[in-house]
C-alpha cells in the first residue's frame, strides 16, 4: 500500500525525461521559496531565523526573480541587514589596525583580527534556511528511494527505467546505499551503475557527434539526438537544469 511519503517519489519517477531526483529537488525548493515569503515571514520564530541567516546568494537571486510578495522580501531584507550590521560593524571597527610609529612597533595581531572578521562575513553570507531545509528533504527522499527499490516491485521497475540520475544525486544515492544491507546495496548499486553507464555512453556519443557537425563535410547530416547534448550533459554533471536552456542549440538548426 502506497504511503503518503512515497507519493512524491512515485510521481517524480513517473514523469519522463531527466533526473527524477532533480524534479523532487526543484519542487521542494519552490515550496521553501514560497514558504519563507508567505505568511510565515511574520511569525517570530521564522523571522528570528531569517534575521540571523538571510539567504545564500543563489536563493536570494531566486527569491528576487520569482517573488510576488515584494513587501515581504523587503521586510525580511531590512531586519536581516540590521542584524548583520549590529554583529559585524563593531567587530570590523575594532579590527582597524593601529598605525605603527616610533613609540609603538608593528604587531602581527591585526592580521588575525582581520581574518576573523572576514571569516564571520564568509560564514554569514552562506547561511540559508532554504538550503538547510532542502538538504534535509533530499536526505529523506533518498532514504525513501532506497527503501522503495527493495520493497516495492513497481517502483523498482520505474527506477530501472529512469532516463538518468545526475551525478550529484548519484552521490547522494551511493551514500544512502552504504547504509543498506550488503545484498540490498548490491542490487541497488548494480541498477544505478547500469543507469549511469548508459547515460555516460549516450552523452559522450552525442557530444562527439555535436562537435563533428561543425565540420563542413557534415553540414547536411541530421542532428539526431545531439542538438541539445551540451545542455543535457550540463544537467547530468550539475543537477541544476534551469540555467541550461536550449536556445543556443535551436539556433544551430
Global confidence as pTM: 0.83
pLDDT tens string 1-16: 568 889 999 999 999 9
**158-161: long-range contacts at Cβ-Cβ below 8 A with a sequence spacing of 24 or more?**
158/10, 158/13, 158/14, 159/13, 159/191, 159/195, 160/191, 160/194, 160/195
Q: Are 59 and 33 in contact (CB under 8 A)?
A: yes
Distance CA 49, CA 59 (A): 15
Q: What is the pLDDT of residue 245?
A: 57
Q: Does residue 166 sit in helix, strand or coil? A: coil
Q: What is the pLDDT of residue 219?
A: 86
pLDDT tens string 42-88: 899 999 999 999 999 999 998 988 767 788 899 999 999 999 999 99
Cell numbers linked to 194: 547500469
User: pLDDT means per 10 residues in the chain (253 residues)?
Assistant: 85 93 95 90 92 93 82 93 97 89 70 95 95 96 96 94 95 97 96 95 94 87 89 88 53 45
Q: What is the pLDDT of residue 248?
A: 45
Q: What is the pLDDT of residue 65?
A: 85
Region of residue 31 (left: phi > 0; alpha: psi -120 to 50; beta: else): alpha
Amino acid at each position: 500500500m502506497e504511503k503518503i511519503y512515497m507519493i512524491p517519489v512515485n510521481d517524480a519517477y513517473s514523469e519522463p525525461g531527466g533526473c527524477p531526483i532533480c524534479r523532487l529537488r526543484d519542487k521542494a525548493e519552490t515550496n521553501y521559496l514560497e514558504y519563507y515569503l508567505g505568511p510565515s515571514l511574520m511569525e517570530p520564530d521564522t523571522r528570528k531565523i531569517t534575521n540571523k541567516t538571510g539567504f545564500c546568494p543563489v536563493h536570494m537571486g531566486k527569491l528576487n526573480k520569482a517573488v510576488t510578495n515584494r513587501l515581504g522580501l523587503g521586510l525580511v531584507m531590512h531586519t536581516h541587514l540590521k542584524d548583520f550590521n549590529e554583529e559585524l560593524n563593531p567587530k570590523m571597527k575594532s579590527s582597524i589596525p593601529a598605525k605603527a610609529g616610533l613609540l609603538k612597533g608593528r604587531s602581527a595581531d591585526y592580521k588575525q583580527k582581520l581574518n576573523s572578521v572576514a571569516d564571520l562575513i564568509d560564514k554569514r553570507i552562506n547561511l540559508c534556511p532554504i538550503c538547510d531545509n532542502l538538504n534535509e528533504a533530499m536526505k529523506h527522499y533518498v532514504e525513501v528511494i532506497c527503501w522503495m527499490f527493495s520493497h516495492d516491485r513497481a517502483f523498482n521497475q520505474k527506477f530501472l527505467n529512469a532516463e538518468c540520475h545526475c551525478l550529484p544525486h548519484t552521490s547522494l544515492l551511493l551514500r544512502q546505499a552504504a547504509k543498506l544491507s550488503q545484498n540490498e546495496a548490491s542490487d541497488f548499486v548494480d541498477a544505478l551503475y547500469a543507469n549511469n553507464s548508459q547515460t555516460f555512453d549516450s552523452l559522450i556519443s552525442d557530444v562527439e557527434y555535436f562537435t563533428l557537425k561543425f565540420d563542413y563535410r557534415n553540414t547536411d547530416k541530421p542532428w539526431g539526438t545531439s542538438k541539445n547534448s551540451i545542455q543535457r550533459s550540463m544537467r547530468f554533471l550539475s543537477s541544476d537544469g534551469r540555467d541550461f536552456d536550449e536556445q543556443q542549440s535551436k539556433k544551430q538548426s
